[in-house]
Amino acid sequence: MAAAQEERSPSLDDCLKLLKGERDEQRLAGLLLVTKFCKNDDIVSLKKVYEAVGTHFLDRLFRTGTGSGDGVDNRDVYLQLSVTVLAALCRVPEIASSVDMVSRIPLILEIMSKGITTNMLEDCYELLYLVSTASEDGVMTLINSGGLRVIAPQMSDLPDGSHAMEVAIKILQLLVSKLSGESMNIECFLELSLVVAAVARQFAVLHNALKFEALHLLSAVFSSEYSALLHEPLRSMPDNNWADYMRTGIVAILQNRVAPSEKFHALILAENMMSILGEKWLIGGVKLPNVDLPADRCLLLVLESSHVEISVLLNDLAYKKYEAPKNNSTAEDILLKQRYLPIMFSLVEKIIKYISSAGENEGTLTDEAVFQKVIKILNETVGAVLEYLRDAKEHGIKKGNDLLASVRVIGSYLAETPVACKEQVQDVLDYMLSVEGEDESSPFLSTCFLLPMLCQITMKAEGCKLLAYSRGDIAVVECLIKLIERSAESVDEDGSVFLACDTIMNILLKEQISLMSEIYTFSSLLKALAYWADRSNDHSVVMTAASICSLIFDFTSEDALLKQPNFNSSSMDSLARLITRSLSSCGQDMSDTADLLEIITAGYSRWIDRFPTIMKHPFEQ
């Protein structure tokens, strides 16, 4: 009988009797039993334990362990016991959300920052996670008490795939969802960059469910409102292994059979990595042990996955917008997909930019077969986008950020290969020039996105005819007027201004167009060009503006212009000053604008008799 009693396991009743004992020794013995036989999911038993021991004793034990209570012996043992018990009790949501538990968060963080055993650290993470997920007060207390400051430096020291790492990642997922850009300072961004680097390693080396938790955390960080402010701290990381870990993890996700949503998260990471480190990040070997990754594997996987994602998104959007029953869920789904689309387009644009520099930079593609495969996928992707725009054209829809983003990605590709998808482009060129963003009152950005392509195709008469047939010439003129207005506020518009000028000049030189029906628009352009040149000291601006004016003068007269409601004698005086200023450079060494001067002087002799105001302005030769 005695032997049987000795072997009998303690019951919950035995534990509760000890916890209700009068002496601390009894209660301590009871708590030790709690840690041995109370299962984490046994909520009923944990509630009984909490009620039996009471908050006063738990608080006293905790303060003793932290060094603020009576007695000095075995503090580490008391602290370990109190943290373990508290973490176990917080499995009960009502206990975890209590004011008593929330108030302990600052002390738990202090304990973690002092260097403790692995087991105790794991219990601390467990306690923080349970308390912060149980209530809004919990997570906000964790944030305001410097949770990120304590956890971030520890991440790189946690064992790969450990329970502590798993819980830490879950805590950080919660913190990231609550952090706002306004509440963060430079220290926060530095701490978050440490988190990214540490979690990137887990994303690469693990092959279990925690790999996806790491992926979700990284995706959440890079999808946040403050992600752009993380770029510089990440570029400045002394150890660049994190970038190789990111590439390794992304490749693993994209080349395996995983849910489409997981691949989308991986593509978000790829887009951000290129924004941080440049497009060259796509290509190159990985300098990690036991990792053999072909240099072009990441590029091909990202491009192929982007193509698939874009095709699916566009098909879904077209169906939801034009065929599916109209209800709230459909509208919400459309908005969600419209937010996803620019991310995928950005990836493709970055790859286009990278491919366009092939041969110019070290580390670019050298395998012709791979290069041709990339071009093939890009053609298919752009073809799918053009088909989406054709569908929108047929349904008479011209306004939408998804449509504007579609025009932008097409413009990026056609800027490098203006003859790609030629028939499809010709079919929707007029439509693309009419597309407006949600915040636009008239088409503008769509024309800006297409300017590089338009400038190239109008170098030939065929392109000029195509543009004139689609009234694209008027779209470019109206775009140039707006660009000049905007350039007064930003020098960033100058590149687009010159592209628009070159396009208009190509049309005027190669295509005999009739300006009479659009004299109002062209008179507005003349005023804008005079204004642009008048406030510039750049000789090329003056000569470009004057040469376009000279070509326009071939088709009109001063009298015709003065009949326009938007044009007066002051406008004519400005143009006279512009022409005089440009002709004053005759005889000077201006070889870079010699062709423009030739256009102006040749035109002057043709139209000067029709412009008496200009004739009255003498110029020095």
Question: Does 389 fall in a domain?
Answer: yes
- Whole-number pLDDT of residue 73: 63
| Residue 152 confidence (pLDDT) above 80 | yes
Q: Are 207 and 249 in contact (CB under 8 A)?
A: no
> Are residues 366 and 218 both part of a single domain?
no
> Are residues 440 and 324 both part of a single domain?
yes
**pLDDT tens for residues 538-572?**
889 999 999 999 999 998 999 999 999 989 999 99
Question: Does 258 fall in a domain?
Answer: no
- Whole-number pLDDT of residue 6: 47
- Whole-number pLDDT of residue 68: 60
> Are residues 14 and 113 both part of a single domain?
yes
- Whole-number pLDDT of residue 175: 93
Question: Does 39 fall in a domain?
Answer: yes
What is the rounded average pLDDT of the residues 417-434?
A: 90
- pLDDT tier, 586 (very low <50, low <70, confident <90, very high otherwise): low
Question: Does 38 fall in a domain?
Answer: yes
Q: Are 575 and 562 in contact (CB under 8 A)?
A: no
> Percentages helix, strand, coil for the chain, rounded to the nearest 5?
75, 0, 25
> Are residues 346 and 445 both part of a single domain?
yes
**pLDDT tens for residues 294-304?**
888 899 999 99
Question: Does 586 fall in a domain?
Answer: no
Question: Does 343 fall in a domain?
Answer: yes
- Distance CA(34)–CA(42), nearest Å, equals 11
Lowest mean pLDDT across 40-54, 247-261, 268-282, 295-309: 40-54
- Whole-number pLDDT of residue 64: 77
Share of the chain above pLDDT 90, in %: 55
Burial class (CB in 10 A: 0-12, 13-18, 19+), 535: exposed
Last-in-domain residue among 457, 485, 510? 457
- Whole-number pLDDT of residue 2: 44
Top-confidence residue, 364 or 200: 200
**pLDDT tens for residues 218-235?**
999 999 988 898 999 999
> Are residues 354 and 213 both part of a single domain?
no
| Residue 162 confidence (pLDDT) above 50 | yes
Q: Residue 10: which of 57, 59, 66, 49 has the closest Cα?
A: 49
- pLDDT tier, 515 (very low <50, low <70, confident <90, very high otherwise): low
Question: Does 407 fall in a domain?
Answer: yes
What is the rounded average pLDDT of the residues 332-336?
A: 80
Q: What Rg value do the Cα atoms of the chain yield, rounded?
A: 35
**pLDDT tens for residues 195-207?**
999 999 999 999 9
Last-in-domain residue among 212, 230, 248? 230
> Are residues 60 and 204 both part of a single domain?
yes
**pLDDT tens for residues 107-140?**
999 999 887 888 889 999 999 999 999 999 999 9
- The torsion defined by the Cα of 516, 521, 523 and 529, in degrees rounded to 10, comes to -130
- Whole-number pLDDT of residue 32: 78
Number of domains in the chain: 2
**pLDDT tens for residues 45-85?**
788 878 887 788 888 878 877 776 555 567 788 788 888 88
- Whole-number pLDDT of residue 514: 61
Question: Does 541 fall in a domain?
Answer: no
- pLDDT tier, 168 (very low <50, low <70, confident <90, very high otherwise): very high
Half-sphere exposure of 19 (CA within 13 A, CB side): 27
> Are residues 325 and 399 both part of a single domain?
yes
> Are residues 423 and 344 both part of a single domain?
yes
Last-in-domain residue among 457, 489, 516? 457
- Record the pTM: 0.85
- Whole-number pLDDT of residue 76: 81
Q: Are 452 and 420 in contact (CB under 8 A)?
A: no
What is the rounded average pLDDT of the residues 420-434?
A: 91
- Distance CA(451)–CA(503), nearest Å, equals 8
What is the rounded average pLDDT of the residues 187-195?
A: 90
Provide the domain limits for residue 97: 2-230
- Residue-wise DSSP of 143-203: HHTTHHHHHHHHGGGSPTT-HHHHHHHHHHHHHHHH--GGG--HHHHHHHHHHHHHHHHHH
> Are residues 206 and 299 both part of a single domain?
no
- The enclosing domain of 51 has a CATH number of 1.25.10.10
